[in-house]
Amino acid sequence: MADPKLSRRKLIKRGLGLGILAVGADAYGLEPNWIDVERVEVPIRGLGAGFDGYRIALLSDVHWPHFSSRRVVERAIRRANAFEPDLIALPGDLCDNSPSGTVPDLRGLFDGLRARDGIVGTLGNHDHRLHDVEGLRRELARNTPIEIVENRHRLLRRGNDTLALGGVGDLWYGLVDPVAAFAGVPEDVPRIMLSHNPDVAEDQVWPVRIDLQLSGHTHGGEVRVPFGPAPHIPSKYGNKFREGLVEGRSHRVYVTRGVCSIKHIRFWCRPEVTHLTLRAA
């Protein structure tokens, strides 16, 4: 007669083995390509009626071409366009470093993006690691619809209402100057600011009005404890800026989990395209 304890031990081992296989299949094969759509409404103080309901599609951390495929990028673009956004924002890490430091060919990659007020972006730390950041800026200007708005702004108008859209350089490698970004903007005009790194909202209290910062960089941690924290976040403030709408020391920031997976795995942390709607507070 078989030892019942031995049979139970075998069943437990088989169950653990199947569980590990299932987690591996999810982390390597399913989640990295399973883009989630997060729908968020953010109230903005003083937002005019013309911008109540203004739609921004947020699409960050593409890391082309080393950590994403054209199929994944096209899928993310379809999810962004499905929102019929007024604006599409790409706050950094559009590209990634290569051993040669060569700027990747971006022809056609972002051409499918569609938004009434255009497509804007800033650079991130991985963009700077190309070692030819000016070459990347030229490639973006020549071969993509993305307008880089670092330390400057655009004024958007709906009738008599105005919204300022600006950006800053990367916190680790670029120039972060929100004062320059919104120079000349009247104090009563609401402002949205792109910054690749969410820590900008916490590092200091900036002496300029910023109503909402849009960021990426953290990838949500990519690997998370179910219903719990991520073991590693590339932020000085740990899981505070892991994802979602967060109140920083200076101002609010929305942190997207990003499109690609630089660890090539995701667990309990799907990639994200954000459908963000502004509301009059």
The CATH number given to whatever domain includes residue 116 is 3.60.21
Burial of 256 from C-beta contacts in 10 A (0-12 / 13-18 / 19+): buried
pLDDT score recorded for residue 256: 98
Number of structural domains, the chain?
A: 1
Question: Is 169 among the domain residues?
Answer: yes
Question: Is 201 among the domain residues?
Answer: yes
Which residue ranges of the chain lie beneath pLDDT 50? 15-28
- The answer to whether the predicted template modeling score (pTM) of the entire model surpasses 0.75 is yes
Over the range 163-182, which residues count as b (16 or more CB within 10 Å of their CB) and which as e? bbbbbbbbbbbbebbbebbb
Q: How far apart are CA 211 and CA 250, in angstroms?
A: 10
Pairing of β 191-194 and β 161-167:
parallel
Q: How far apart are CA 106 and CA 90, in angstroms?
A: 15
Domain that holds residue 146: 34-280
Question: Is 27 among the domain residues?
Answer: no
Question: Is 22 among the domain residues?
Answer: no
> Please, which residues bridge with residue 138 across strands?
none
pLDDT score recorded for residue 180: 98
Question: Is 105 among the domain residues?
Answer: yes
Q: Is the dihedral of CA 251, 259, 196, 243 positive or negative?
A: positive
Question: Is 8 among the domain residues?
Answer: no
Q: How far apart are CA 259 and CA 194, in angstroms?
A: 17
Ranges assigned E (strand) in the chain: 36-44, 55-58, 87-91, 119-122, 146-148, 152-158, 161-167, 191-194, 212-215, 244-247, 252-255, 272-280
pLDDT score recorded for residue 142: 97
pLDDT score recorded for residue 23: 42
Question: Is 186 among the domain residues?
Answer: yes
Pairing of β 119-122 and β 87-91:
parallel
Question: Is 5 among the domain residues?
Answer: no
